[in-house]
Amino acid sequence: MPTYSLAVHPLHNPQKLADAYQPLVDELNRRLPHARIELLASRDYPTYNSRFRSREPGLLLANPWQTLEAIKVGYRVVAMAGDAQDFKGIFIARKDSPIQQVSDLKGKVVSYPAATALAACIMPQNYLYQNGIDVNRDITNAYVGSQESSILQAYLGQAAVAATWPPPWRMFQRDHPQQASELKVLWQTPPLVNNSVMLRNDLPAEAAAVVSQTLLDLPNSAKGREILQGMATAGFHAATDDTYGPVRSYIADFEKNVRKVEGP
C-alpha cells in the first residue's frame, strides 16, 4: 500500500507531539482501505517548512502562514483544526511578575517558539506593535524552538513574558500543573483563522475523501472525542484555500509594519 506522512507543525517536542497525534493517525489508518499514514515530527519550524516546500509529506497540519506557503507548492486545504476563536496569541508571565502594562516590557526578553509561528509569535508581535512596542528595538526576542520551551522561559524567569497560544497552554496546564500554577495569562490577541489540514494534490481522491470525513466525524463518537481531547482541539471544520484569504492581508500588514516573516 502507498504510505503518506502526516507532518504536524512543531506544536510540541517530537515525543509529546507523537503522544497527542498518533491516536489520530491510528484512526485514519483504521478507515483508509488502500493507503497508510505515518506521523512525521519535525524538530523545529525551519525543518518543517523545508519539508512541505519540498513536497515530502502527503498531509499537513499547518499554521495559517504555512498554509499560504504550502498552497504555492501544490497542497490544498480540506479542514480547519479547531475553532477560529481559539487561534490567538497569549502572553504568559509568572504570577509574581512585576509586568503589568505592555510598556513595562521595554528592555525585557520576550520568548516565542519560532519567528514563523503565527499565533505564538507573529500575532503577539503585532499586538506589541499596536500597543507601542518596537519589537526590533525595544525588546529582546528569544526564539526558543517549541511552545513548551517558550512557556518554560517565563516560568524559569529567563523571559519577562512568553508568547504561545491556547492549545499548548492547556496541555502545559494538564501535564505540568505545579509549574502552571505559578503562571498567569497577561494579555491575548484578537483571533484569526485556525490551523489547516492540507493534502498534497497528487493524493488519490478516495484517500482524500476518507481523510476529510474522518476528521469531521471525530466529535460523533467517544473514541473520536478522546482523540480530540488528546490534541487539545475542539474539532475539525470543513474549509478550503479561500478560508485563509484573510491571513494573506494580515501578513502583508505585519510585514509592512513590523518585520519580514522570513529573512532579513
For residue 39, the SS3 value is strand
Query: What pLDDT is stored for residue 130 in this prediction?
Result: 97
If residue 3 lies in a helix (H) or strand (E), which one and from where to where? strand 3-8
Query: What pLDDT is stored for residue 13 in this prediction?
Result: 75
Q: What is the pTM of this model?
A: 0.85
| pLDDT one-digit tens code per residue, 201-230 | 999 999 999 999 999 999 999 999 999 999
Q: Kindly list the strands in the beta sheet with 3-8, ordered across the sheet, starting from the edge strand earlier in the chain.
A: 36-41, 3-8, 59-62, 195-200, 75-81, 236-238
Query: What pLDDT is stored for residue 261 in this prediction?
Result: 94
pLDDT in tens, the chain (264 residues): 899 999 998 877 778 889 999 999 999 999 998 899 999 998 888 899 999 999 999 999 999 999 999 999 999 999 999 999 999 999 999 999 999 999 999 999 999 999 999 999 999 999 999 999 999 999 999 999 889 999 999 999 999 999 999 989 998 999 999 999 999 999 999 999 999 999 999 999 999 999 999 999 999 999 999 999 998 888 999 999 999 999 999 999 999 999 999 865
State the DSSP string of 187-210.
EEPPP---EEEEEETTS-HHHHHH
Grid cell at residue 1? 500500500
Domains of the chain, start order: 3-84+193-257 (3.40.190.10), 88-188 (3.40.190.10)
Query: What pLDDT is stored for residue 3 in this prediction?
Result: 95
Query: What pLDDT is stored for residue 264 in this prediction?
Result: 56
The Cα–Cα gap between 128 and 132 comes to 6
| pLDDT one-digit tens code per residue, 154-163 | 999 999 999 9
